[in-house]
Amino acid sequence: MNPINRRTFLSQLTLATAAFSLPQYAFSASSMPADFVEVEITHGKIRGLRSEGVNIFKGIPYAGSVSGDHRFRRPAPLQSWTGVREALQLGAPAIQPPRRNEPAPAEDCLFLNVWTPANDNKKRPVMFYNHGGGFVIGSGGSASQDGTNLARNFDVVVVETNHRLGLLGFLYLDEIAGADYAGSGNMGLLDMVAGLKWVQENIAQFGGDPNNVMIWGESGGGAKTACLYAMPAAAPYFNKASIESGPGVRMTPKEIATETTAMLLKELNIAPKDWRKLLAVPAADLLNMQSKLPFVPPFIEKNKSVGFMRRNYGGFGPVVDGKILPHHPFDPAAPQISRNKPLLVGWNEDEYTFFAWERKDTEFATLDFAGLQQKLEPQYGPHTKKIIDTYRKARPNATAANIFIAVSSITMMGLGSVEIAEKKVKQQGAPVYLYNFGYKSEKKIPGTDYPMGTPHAMDISFKFNNEIPPRGGSAPKESFFGGNKPERFVASRNFAELWTTFARTGKPAAKNAPAWPAYNLQNRPTMRIDTKCEVINNRFSQELAMWRSIGKL
């Protein structure tokens, strides 16, 4: 293996890391008076806060210990408690580098948060969000995905979990550790299933409908959602799904997961027969070892020339083990188990500007077309000229930098999203709806005059309706990615209303948006979400035809 340090590892992560370490947003909880609220759930009573018209419960345990003897295994049974347990503070996130304004990461991390308008008997739709951060970082307590505004403004219940990540969540031991460790390569996913089971058993106490649950997520959370969409264990617990900028078409085959496990054991000087020594390795040491392996992206390409996936990747993410995850989520087809469950899928128009910002890449902004050819050739080889020619024809006014961003954005998150939509249509079951998020931030990538546009992860605060005018007459604060323009409040309202209506009815709709037709293979309607939403037929038709012709779609 080729060791890399954690800084390099995180900088190369082609997933959403924005929502996990960004400063607190303007919509953080205010100092308005709050009241305690108590509710009894399956394992005892809990106490949350009522603030600004929303009941908020944080740090609720939804399963037992996953440390010690339960490392790499199903959680221990959750023990009931007496008295009233405080649910006022976030629970520990999974093992990872420290997170801003959150508790210290810990192995025992199976906590969830709930936002609800009221703990009454009203059957509200439940929106079960899977956080981003790939499969290695993130939590259900990130500020940008605070569920307060969705709950208050759209009368829904929002649930978000912490779950095992990285090596502790996805180390494949099935072939060397025996029956007790069956499913070890997908423990992080099974944690989410445990969270969904908790929802089934408890959400009625929070004014939610256990029979109307939507799973959704962005970036790595989108890929997690794609996996849940294909998992028999998850099937009884949700009714619809949304995969956002994280098209999990394919996951890690068990053959490659086996190689990754072997590399890890070799690096730790542990013989396969002595694998139990892993149970005694400090979590901090495992995190350090994890950083020496490549990341697992949410969209693993298929190498058409050899008919199988590239073998130049490893790391820790969901494993196609034939049992917990029976097959790739959307390869060779959409999962039959979710045939009758409606689906939303799509991506942001300028995904790559996030990564340019994160990596301090300013060079792309000065490219001319000769430089663009040189920049793309290492990845696309003999196809490079055809790619550039296609984009120049389709976008005659585009600069070289514009084309670089467009190419990088669609290959990161767009092609997989289209593939999912097409395969879902071919299944001839429940509808699928394809979208592009397009609101343009005026903020510049530092060191350039190039605007962020619609970067990866900017959709999080918009779809959670966390881009809203401030209360009480105070001046609005600048959005981290979204900029200063007041129009962003309208775009956020549109996005949130489309998603909450989908959660409620299975069909996305909003007062100020046109009717959103289901995707089909004739006119391929795509909803572009902005201050003014519009349905665009056959969007990116020239570009997609080109990507198909070179085997990328």
At 303 the pLDDT is 53
**Pair (247, 357) in one structural domain:** no
In a domain, 10, yes or no: no
Q: What is the pLDDT of residue 335?
A: 98
- What pLDDT, on the 0 to 100 scale, is given for residue 302? 64
Same structural domain, 52 and 183: yes
Are the C-beta atoms of residues 345 and 420 closer than 8 Å to each other? Answer: yes
- 305 pLDDT band, cuts 50/70/90, is very low
- CATH number of the domain at 475, please: 3.40.50.1820
- State yes or no: pLDDT of 29 exceeds 50: no
- Mean pLDDT lowest among 146-160, 320-334, 479-493: 479-493
Q: Which of 213, 237, 253 represents a domain boundary (last residue)? A: 253
> Is 7 domain-assigned?
no
| Residue ranges making up the domain that contains 495 | 342-550
Backbone angles phi, psi at 383, to 5 degrees: -85, -5
Dist CA 348 CA 436 (whole Å): 5
Are the beta carbons of 492 and 465 closer than 8 angstroms? yes
User: How many C-beta atoms surround the C-beta of residue 442 within 10 A?
Assistant: 12
Q: Looking at the domain assignment, is residue 459 inside a domain?
A: yes
How many residues make up the chain in this entry?
A: 553
Among 253, 284, 309, identify where a domain stops: 253
In this predicted model, what pLDDT tens digit does every residue of 494-504 receive, in sequence order? 999 999 999 99
476: pLDDT confidence band, cut at 50, 70 and 90?
low
| Domain-terminating residue out of 219, 253, 287 | 253
Residue 543 has pLDDT above 80, yes or no: yes
pLDDT digits (tens, 9 = 90+) for 501-518: 999 999 999 999 999 999
Note the pLDDT tens digit of each residue in 250-265.
999 999 999 999 999 9
Residue 113 domain-assigned (yes or no): yes
Q: Between 200 and 23, whose confidence is greater?
A: 200
* Domain assignment present for 315: no
Q: Does the pLDDT value for residue 310 go beyond 70?
A: no
Cβ distance 74 to 20 under 8 Å? no
User: What is the per-residue pLDDT for 18?
Assistant: 37
Q: Is the pLDDT of residue 5 over 50?
A: no
Residue of 121 and 81 predicted with greater confidence: 81
pLDDT of residue 469: 82
- Least confident span in 314-318, 379-383, 422-426, 541-545: 314-318
Is the pLDDT at 315 greater than 70? The verdict is yes
Give SS3 for 110.
coil
CB 532 within 8 Å of CB 493: no
Q: pLDDT tens for residues 199-249?
A: 999 999 999 999 999 999 999 999 999 999 999 999 999 999 999 999 999
Same domain, 424 and 536: yes
Residue 295 lies in a domain: no
If pLDDT is split at 50, 70 and 90, which confidence band does 468 have? Answer: confident
User: Is 242 inside a domain boundary?
Assistant: yes
* Same domain assignment for residues 367 and 230: no
Residue 379, pLDDT > 90, answer yes
pLDDT score at 294: 73
| Percent of the chain clearing pLDDT 70 (strictly above) | 90
Are 205 and 65 in the same domain? yes
Contacts of 475 (CB under 8 A, 6+ apart): none
Say if residue 19's pLDDT is above 50: no
pLDDT higher than threshold 70 for residue 12: no
| 3-class state of residue 536 by DSSP | strand
**346 and 237 fall within a common domain:** no
Is it the case that residue 2 has pLDDT exceeding 80? no
Residue 297's pLDDT is 72
Tokens 């981290």 correspond to: 480
Active site residues per annotation: 219, 351, 456
For the chain, how many structural domains are there in total? 2
Q: What is the 3-state secondary structure (H, E, C) of 416-473?
A: HHHHHHHHHHHCCCCCEEEEEECCCEEEECCCCCCEEECCCCHHHHHHCCCCCCCCCC
Mark whether 103 and 215 lie in a shared domain: yes
Distance between first and last Cα of the chain: 30
Average pLDDT over the chain reads 91
Q: Is the pLDDT of residue 312 over 60?
A: no
Tens digit of each residue's pLDDT (9 = 90 or more) over 388-441:
999 999 999 999 999 999 999 999 999 999 999 999 999 999 999 999 999 999
- Is residue 354 located within the same domain as residue 242? no
Q: Is residue 390 part of a domain?
A: yes
Residues 97 and 237 reside in one and the same domain: yes
pLDDT digits (tens, 9 = 90+) for 97-110: 999 999 999 999 99
Give 234's contacts (C-beta < 8 A, 6+ positions apart): 189, 192, 193, 196, 215, 228
Question: What does the pLDDT read at residue 1?
Answer: 31
pLDDT recorded at residue 291: 87
Whether residues 249 and 352 share a domain: the answer is: no
Q: What pLDDT was estimated at residue 90?
A: 98
Q: How confident is the model at residue 313 (pLDDT cuts 50, 70, 90)?
A: low
Q: Which residues contact 83 (CB under 8 A, 6 or more apart)?
A: 44, 45
